[in-house]
Amino acid sequence: MLDPRHALDPRETVIFREERILVLPMEEYRAELTAHLDAVAGRWRPHPLRLARELLARPLPVIPVTFPGTWGVPAPFEDFAGQIVYPWAEAMPASMYATWWAHGSPADLPYDAFWKADRDAELVYFHGFDNVYHWSVMDLVLLLAHGDRYIRPYASVCNEFYELEHAKFSTSRNHVVRAGDLVADVPRDIARYYLALTAPERERTNFDPAELAAHPLAGEWNELAAVVDTLLAGRDFQEPLPVTDEGRRADARLAARLRACFAPETFSLARAARLIAERTAELRDTAAGFAAPGDFLLAVRTLLAWSAPILVDVGRRAAEGGVDLSLSGARDTVVEKIAPFRLPRLPESTGTHG
C-alpha cells in the first residue's frame, strides 16, 4: 500500500498489524485446473478459453477467504471469529444455496445436495467475460478443494460485453437501459427476441433502440398466424390432421438445427433467433407447398416449441391453449397426426403485451 491513510480522519496515524486469515492457495491446484480446462476446452468459446489459459500461464495467487471487517457475511469458522467472508468466495456456496432454493428448499436435504457428484447432474455456466477469472479459476478451485465431492462444470457459455450507443453499460454513469423500463415500452417477447438476436456471443455487440422498434418479427409472425387461421377455417379442432413421411423428415431437419442452438457445445441464442425469423417468413410464404395440412401444422408447432424459450409469453399462451410443446416427444416418437391449434400472436404495439 502506498501512502495509506485513515479513512475517517486523515490526521489519524495508520497502524500496521498482522492478522491470521483463512486463504485459498490456488497454485496448489494447478495440475487439476489444467487437466479440467483441457477436458472441457471444446465446449468453451475461443476468447474466454484464451484468457483462462493466459491466467494459468502465470503463478496463481493466494486468495483470502476471510479477512477482518464488519460489513459482510460473518466467517462461520471458530478460529476466525470476528472476520467476514471475502465476497468473491461467497459465489460458489451461494450458487449451491440458490440451486437448493430453486428446488423448493427441501428441508430433508443439505444446501449443497444438488451439486454433489453422486447426483449425476450436468453443470453448465452462463456468464460474462468479466467473470472468466472467477468461474474458470477461483470458483473451480473451491470445488476442486473438496476432492470428488462436487460436480465440475461440463461447459461454459460466456458472452462478451454488450454496449449501449457503442459504450459499455454502466450503472455508475447511468448509461443503462433497465429491464423494467424496456418492457414498459416494448412487448416482453419482442425485447427478449432482440436481446437474443444481438447477444454478444463472440464479440461485442450494440443495443440499438431504433433497430429494436423497427424489427419485423412481430408482423411476420402474425402473418404466419393468419395463414394458420386460414388453413384451419371450417375444420373440426377435435379431428387431428394426418402427417406424411415427407413432413416428418422435414420437421426433423428443422428440429435438429434449432436443437443445436441450445446444446451446451453449440449454444447460441443469436443463431436460434435468426433461425426463428427465417423459418417464420419461410412458413408464411410456402404454406401452399406442403404435401398435407398436417405437415404444415407440424412445422409450425416445432417452430413454436423451439421459440418458447425466447418468446416466453407466446409459449405460455400456446401451452395454456393445449398445444403440445414437449421437445422430447417431438424427437422420440413418430408423429402420425397433429391436433389443430391456433398460433398465438405477438403484440405489435406498446400497451398490448400485458
Q: 127 pairs with which residues across the strands? A: 158
Q: What pLDDT is recorded for position 329?
A: 43
Measured between alpha carbons, how far is 66 from 73 in angstroms, rounded to an integer?
10
Q: Are 169 and 175 in contact (CB under 8 A)?
A: yes
Domain 23-159: give its CATH code: 3.40.50.620
pTM of the model: 0.86
Instruction: Specify the amino acid at residue 324.
Output: D
- Using alpha carbons, list the distances in angstroms from residue 335 to 23, 238, 239, 248, 259: 58, 17, 15, 7, 18
Measured between alpha carbons, how far is 283 from 303 in angstroms, rounded to an integer?
10
Measured between alpha carbons, how far is 324 from 335 in angstroms, rounded to an integer?
12
Measured between alpha carbons, how far is 30 from 113 in angstroms, rounded to an integer?
27
- The domain segmentation of the chain, as residue ranges, is 23-159, 162-213, 217-338
**Low-confidence spans in the chain with pLDDT less than 70:** 328-333, 349-354
Place of cell 418492457: 183
In 3D, which of 212, 159, 167 has the Cα closest to residue 190? 212
Place of cell 472467477: 134
Q: What is the DSSP letter of 170?
A: B
Residue 109 has phi, psi (to 5 degrees) of -125, 145
